[in-house]
Structure 1
Amino acid sequence: MAGFHQREFRIVALIAFLCGGLCLSSFSYAATVKQEALDLATYKDLTQIRLDNIRESIQKDIQSLSSRLEIQDKRLDTQNSHIDQNLSILGILLSALGIALPLAGLAGYFSVSRKARNEAKIEAQKEARKEAEVTANDWFQLHAHELQSRLDALQSKLQQMEGQAEVGFNTHIQRVQHGADLAIKEMQLSVSGQHSFKKNISELAATALSEAAIAAKNKPESEYTFKDWNNRAFDAYRVGDNERAARFWRDAADDSSASPEQVAQALANAGSALTDLKQYDQAIRIYEEVIQKFAVTDNPLLRKSVATSLNGKATCLGLLGKLEELNQLLDMLISQLEADDMLSHGEDMAHAMTNKVVGLGLLKKHQEALELCEVFEKRFNDTKTLEIQSHLITIRCNKISNLWDLNQKHEINSVYEDTLAQFGRSEDLEIKQELGDLKSGKAFIYMCDAKEQWSDEEFRQETLNKAAVLLGEALLLRPNEGSILGNQAYCEYLKSNDAADIQEKLIYALDLDGQFLYEGTLNDLLIHPVPEKDNAFRILLDDAWEIVKNRQNKKG
């Protein structure tokens, strides 16, 4: 019985020790959680870790208590074993003495005692576990309010930080979109102008446009707005992916969030991209969609988009060789623009008059073309707008060409030199490329002069050398231009007979400008023909064109 009481005492002592450990843990926790400076993630992690540690500590204490009870049980079993051995010896002695009955009673007593001890052990284990659970629950109940307050504070801070993150993210998106808008504004002039210069924007603007396009890619297309489609279209156009640019602009125009002005502009841009792809018929259909939708409007922005689309359609008609239709369309457009105070002296009028001069030259109406050049120069010669200055250089190039066709060669040099003096120092990419066309045009005149006096070898070589120098300068100003490369190939052939290198250049040039360049070159060969040269060059040209067409058919 003394062993049983001793065991109870130890159980009580263990429970007291457990309670004391729990209290110490709680005091330690209360001291720790006061560190308000920890960030959100650390608070949450520390709280979870502390709760896990408390539970683990309680479980360990329960396991330790059970272990000690088992040790006590083993000790009792050992004592009972000794008692059993002694009883056996005593039984033998009592049997010998004839007192079996008292021995049986004593054995029964110890049997009952053992059973009682086992039951006491089980009850003690139950009570210890119950006490541990009660102690843990009491601790949680005691600190529940504090823990809930802490968790509420963490939740509030989380919401605050999420709000700040959202504000920061939205601010970043706004900055990116602002930069993209600036890039689009820069590029729009080139997209809707007479030529496309996709990379003529600042590096900062290009980066912003790229980021805006990436942001759009990261969400489903079903959630796109007009801006998302437009950002992706301009970014694709910037890197030369005109096919995707045209598709994105078509999608932008079809988006329900697009305003009428945005629809018109996106469609006009899609037409420009298709023109760059030499898909002239498709481009014309897009331009006609703009013209039909917004033909009758008082909105100045829509009127401008209609004018842009009419100019775009005119360009495609010229490239398709539909010169009479081109001429009629431009007469109608110029008449409309003259009646519009806002557009009569703007880029749309300059573009229309430029197209008209080119068309008249192709129709061999050189005097009319020169007269329109004079009208253009009087209206726009003093302009400071780069887009119109670009058209002015094109007008000068065509003026030189028409003067040469009318054999008014004495004026050509002055027009050429005046243009170089006026724009030669410009750093604008578009102006430089127009000057490249000017130099190429002057070089072509040199080649024609050389052919005209072919029998004069000294004059011929000197004149062809001048042409070669100008073509080299032109390619520096306007690299990868089919017409300049074609002129260079022809000039080199007139100077020598290196057919292999010349054919490679012809293939490259025809890859760029296609049938338009091929047919134009055939016409150029008829100017002051030199049969021993031009017949062989015609064979090289035909062979190169067949190679290019076969490549295109395989791709198609």
Structure 2
Amino acid sequence: MVRLLAICFLLWGTAVAQATETFASRDELNAFKELQQSKLESQKELQVKELESQKALQVKDIETVRQQITAVDKRVDDQLAQLGQSIDRFGTLTTLLSVVITVLLVLGGFLGYRNAKSEAKEAASDVARASAQEWFDKQAEQLREQIKALGHKAAQLHIEMDGHAQGVQAYAADVERAIKTVQESIVKNGAQTPSALADSTKVLAQRDRELKASNEDSYSFDDWNTRAHAAYTAGALEDAAYFWFKAAGVADASATSVAKVLINRGITQGQLSQHEAEIASYDEVLHRFGDAAEPALREQVARALVNKGVTQGQVNQNEAEIATYDEVLRRFGDAAEPALREQVAMALLYKGITQGQMNQNEAAMATFDEVLRRFGDAAEPALREQVASAKVNKGIAQGKLKQNEAAMASFNEVLRRFGDAAEPALCEQVARALVNKGVTQGELNQSEAEISTYDEVLSRFGDAAEPALREQVAMALLYKGITQGQLNQNEAAMATFDEVLRRFGNAAEPALRETVARATVNKDGIQRQLNL
């Protein structure tokens, strides 16, 4: 910047010097011109006298002088022109110099302003940066603390959510397990004891209360089905049948699920002694799914047919009942699926029992033999149960035909094959075999052996809680007391009848109430004999 100003001043000095020199030349020319004019005038006066004499000679000289003057004038004019041009150049240079100086000053000011602005900006930027850095550091620390707190809170919420999700899943699993337990009881016609269903009843009751708070219009199939099972365990059978009817009407319910709830509805209607409605429910299954090819649906169709046959037997439609069982055999007799084989075995078993009730004992034994032929070596628990039952019922039919030795052999075969079984269904058949063996021993006048057999029933199953086993224990006690009475062991007989009353006097089951009544009658008879 300083160097540029120095150059500008140097140029300005040179121009001024040139202009001064030009002004000096112009004054000399004016003086010279005046001097020449004076000389010319003097010469003219001197030469006037000589003109005449030297006119001819002087003409040439005058002309020469004139030419010289013209040349001088021309030179003077040229110098004046040059001087004007110099003045113009000086003016131009002065103007340019002024412009340059102005530009330089402006540029210098701009540069100074820019530098000052840049320095101020840098200073302000440094201050702002430092302030911002301080603010960001402060905010970052606060944010880190907040993020840390949020992370801790998120972790706690995650743990709580996981716990809640696990709780929901566990609760859903409890509900599903409860429904499964109750469903098994329904299918097996109350095989589960009330105590065994206590937990399921509690879980389903809680879920039922929750569902009651919801709008029924939004119920899913599972909601209706859950409420039905809850009502069933609570003894509200009318509600259970209605809820299963509603479940069967849910649009997106699977065909298998619909078939199952229709069968459940039929079973419940049967427990309400609504047998015609029960048969109609089973017929609905047959109407809607009778031609289905899916294994799961075929199983439900077979179940509906078997249950329909049982219900027909309850309303004394024995011929129709046997025809229904034959329909099971016609449709599914050659099926290889375990579930269908189970239904076929049940149809054969129930057919044989009905034939026995109709005093068609030979036909009944043939039917039981068919069960043994088809399924005698089966390993499946459900089929083993049917085989054991067929063997017991065959022994009963043999007893009706006075084939007591053959009957004893049948009962002993059951004890041999299934005596150590732990499954409740097989234990029931073992108990039945023992009770009927005792009855047969009585027919053979083996009274002491008969009483011993009844005692074995008490020894094996006296503490059982299952309704079917309690029924056999009550019968064993009753028959023992009767036999003791026949042996004139009246005190022992009354003690045995009292044991029946003590164990089962408050029972609500019809079979047990009947046994209690018979025990009471027999005890009263002995007391009358003894005049007590």
Bin for the TM-score computed over the shorter chain: 0.5 to 0.7
CA 1:170 to 1:247, structure 2 compared with 1: closer, same or farther past 3 Å?
farther
Residue of structure 1 equivalent to 2:494: 498
Give me the TM-score of the superposition, normalised by structure 1.
0.55
For structure 1, the 5+ residue unaligned runs are 1-27, 44-156, 454-458, 526-531, 540-556
- Which has the bigger relative contact order, CA under 8 A and spacing at least 6? 1
Structure 2 partner of 1:467: 454
5+ long unaligned stretches in structure 2: 1-137, 485-489
Quote the Cα distance in structure 2 between the aligned partners of 1:343 and 1:469: 34
Compared CA separation, residues 202 and 384, structure 1 to 2 (3 A): farther
| CA gap 1:215/1:181 in 2 versus in 1, 3 angstroms | closer
- Provide the secondary structure at the position in 1 that maps to 2:145: coil
1:35 to 2:32 alignment = no
Preserved contact between residue 234 and residue 245 of structure 1 (Cα < 8 Å)? yes
Q: Structure 1 residues 191 and 505 mapped into 2: Cα distance closer, same or farther (>3 Å)?
A: same
Letter of the 2:190 partner, please give it.
S
Question: 1:513 aligned to 2:513?
Answer: no
Q: CA deviation at 1:443?
A: 3.0
**Inter-partner Cα distance in structure 1 for 2:256 and 2:298:** 10
AA aligned to 1:358 is: I
Report the CA distance between 1:361 and its aligned residue. 1.0
State the percentage of identical aligned residues: 19
Q: Establish whether residue 298 from structure 1 lines up as the match of residue 293 from structure 2.
A: yes
Question: SS at the partner of 1:321?
Answer: coil
Residue 206 (structure 2) aligns with:
214
The corresponding residue for 2:117 is none
- Number of equivalences: 376
Deviation of the 1:308 alpha carbon: 0.4
Whichever residue aligns with residue 214 of structure 1, its letter is: Q
* 1:126 match: none
1:264 and 1:290 in contact (8 A); partners too: yes
Q: 1:478 to 1:293 in 2, by over 3 A?
A: same
Please tell me whether the aligned partners of residues 343 and 349 of structure 1 are also in contact (alpha carbons under 8 angstroms). no
| In structure 2, C-alpha distance between the alignment counterparts of 1:281 and 1:487, rounded to whole Å | 35
SS of the residue corresponding to residue 389 of structure 2 reads helix
User: Which residue among 474, 477, 495 is the counterpart of 1:488?
Assistant: 477
Closer/same/farther in 2, CA of residues 291 and 166 from structure 1, 3 Å limit = farther
Deviation string, structure 1 residues 278-304 (Cα, Å, up to 9, x no partner): 554443332222222222322332222
Quick one: distance in 2 between partners of 1:241 and 1:441?
37
CA 279–397 in structure 1, closer or farther in 2 if over 3 Å, else same = farther
Q: Is the 8 A contact 1:483 1:513 kept in 2?
A: no
Of 313, 316, 338, the residue aligned with 1:321 is 316
Name the CA shift for 1:535/1:283 in 2 (closer, same or farther; >3 Å). Answer: farther
Shift of 1:348: 0.9
Q: Tell me if structure 1 keeps the 8 A contact 2:204–2:229.
A: no
Per-residue deviation, 1:410: 2.0
Q: For 1:374-389, what aligned pairs fall within 5 Å after superposition?
A: 374-389=369-384
1:354 to 2:349 alignment: yes
Farther-moved stretch of structure 1 (338-347 vs 423-432): 338-347
**Is the 1:192–1:308 Cα contact (8 Å) retained in structure 2?**
no
Q: Given that residues 444 and 487 in structure 1 are in contact (C-alpha distance below 8 angstroms), is that contact kept between their aligned partners in structure 2?
A: no
Amino acid at match of 1:441: N
Return 270-279 or 234-243, whichever deviates more: 234-243
- Do the aligned partners of 1:304 and 1:343 also contact (CA within 8 Å) in 2? no
Q: For the Cα contact (< 8 Å) 1:176–1:212, is it kept in 2?
A: no
Residue 349 of structure 1 deviates from its aligned partner by 0.6
Q: Which residue of 1 aligns with 2:414?
A: 419
Specify which of 183, 197, 200 is matched with residue 191 of structure 2.
Answer: 197
- Partners of 2:463 and 2:196 lie apart in 1 by 21
In 2 relative to 1, CA 175–42 (structure 1 residues): closer, same or farther, beyond 3 Å?
closer
Q: For residue 80 of structure 1, what is the aligned residue in structure 2? A: none
SS at match of 2:402: coil
- Pair 1:515–1:289, CA change in 2 (3 A): farther
User: Structure 1 residue 491: deviation in Å?
Assistant: 3.7
Task: Name the residue aligned to 1:270.
Answer: 265
Which of 504-513 and 210-219 deviates more?
504-513
For the structure 1 residues 161 and 464, does the alpha-carbon distance in structure 2 shift closer, same or farther, using more than 3 Å as the test? closer
In 1: Cα distance, 2:204 partner to 2:504 partner: 38
Write the deviation string for residues 226-271 of structure 1: whole angstroms up to 9, x where unpaired: 2233344446656877665544433322333422211101111232
Which residue does the alignment assign to 1:106?
A: none
Q: Is the 8 A contact 2:302 2:343 kept in 1?
A: yes
Q: Secondary structure at the match of 1:346?
A: helix
Structure 1 residue 400: Cα displacement: 0.9
Query: Which structure is larger by alpha-carbon Rg, 1 or 2?
Result: 2
- In structure 1, C-alpha distance between the alignment counterparts of 2:273 and 2:463, rounded to whole Å: 24
SS in 1 for 2:146: coil
Partner of 1:128: none
After superposition, the CA RMSD in angstroms is 4.7
> Structure 2 vs 1, CA of residues 172 and 463 (structure 1 numbering), >3 Å: closer, same or farther?
closer
**Residue number among 303, 309, 312 corresponding to 2:304 in the alignment:** 309
Counterpart for residue 363 of structure 1: 358
